[in-house]
Chain A
Amino acid sequence: NAGVTQTPKFQVLKTGQSMTLQCAQDMNHNSMYWYRQDPGMGLRLIYYSASEGTTDKGEVPNGYNVSRLNKREFSLRLESAAPSQTSVYFCASSEAARGRIEGYTFGSGTRLTVV
């Protein structure tokens, strides 16, 4: 009953450091997504992967890279962290049903602080 698992849950980075946020889902979903959540701004899409082997930019991709390692895993990398990337990051996955996505399953989030 794991659903979407994100690691780590919390992280503090210094400006310029790099790190990778990990995400894995066990529901055999085709599509996976990375969002960031900032106060008063809702969720904004960073990158998504519609299927294994494909990735596309979302609304706010600058400063991030992603890898769809296999069907289960979708990682988000910050090459050179900046204070503006302080946020809560959510991974999500979804599956189309009858040609329409039924909704996302979200992970519990990674709270990242860049100092």
Chain B
Amino acid sequence: GDSVTQMEGPVTLSEEAFLTINCTYTATGYPSLFWYVQYPGEGLQLLLKATKADDKGSNKGFEATYRKETTSFHLEKGSVQVSDSAVYFCALLNFNKFYFGSGTKLNVKP
């Protein structure tokens, strides 16, 4: 069945460091791919998405490229801030069903 695998956390970085959170997926057909962010005590918020191969989603300095050849959708940011500390979820949507990864906690230290 369809599934999403993302790197385990927590990931701890210093402010202004480069961020990569890996995400790979297994799916039939042509899924859409998403990154959601969850700040402490809040629900999930859509961060970015890509609906077809080679699309790049971007928002708030974060980027992810839909790579069908490697079945990946890695999240990157060139310079993280303390305010980026949160849990990040990779997800895929296929045939009207969502599948979420287990989440990666990011801690950014000043």
Interface residues of A (CB under 8 A from B): 4, 33, 40-43, 45, 50, 90, 92, 96, 100-109
Contacts and interface: CB of A to CB of B under 8 A. Distances in A.
B98 A106 contact: no
A4 B97 CA distance: 19
Contacts of B103: 42
Contacts of A90: 43-44
Contact of A104 (B42, B98, B101, B102): B98
A106 B44 contact: yes
B85 to A, nearest CB: 17
Nearest to B6: A42
A100 B43 contact: no
Interface stretch (B45-53, B67-75, B76-84): B45-53
B32 A100 contact: yes
Which size class do B's interface residues fall under? 20 to 34
A14 B46 CA distance: 35
29 contacts: A4-B43, A33-B98, A41-B102, A42-B89, A42-B100, A42-B101, A42-B102, A43-B100, A45-B97, A45-B98, A90-B43, A90-B44, A96-B96, A100-B32, A101-B93, A101-B96, A103-B46, A103-B49, A104-B44, A104-B46, A104-B98, A105-B46, A106-B36, A106-B44, A106-B45, A107-B43, A108-B41, A108-B42, A109-B42
B34 to A, nearest CB: 6
A22 to B, nearest CB: 15
Contacts of B34: 103
Nearest to A107: B43
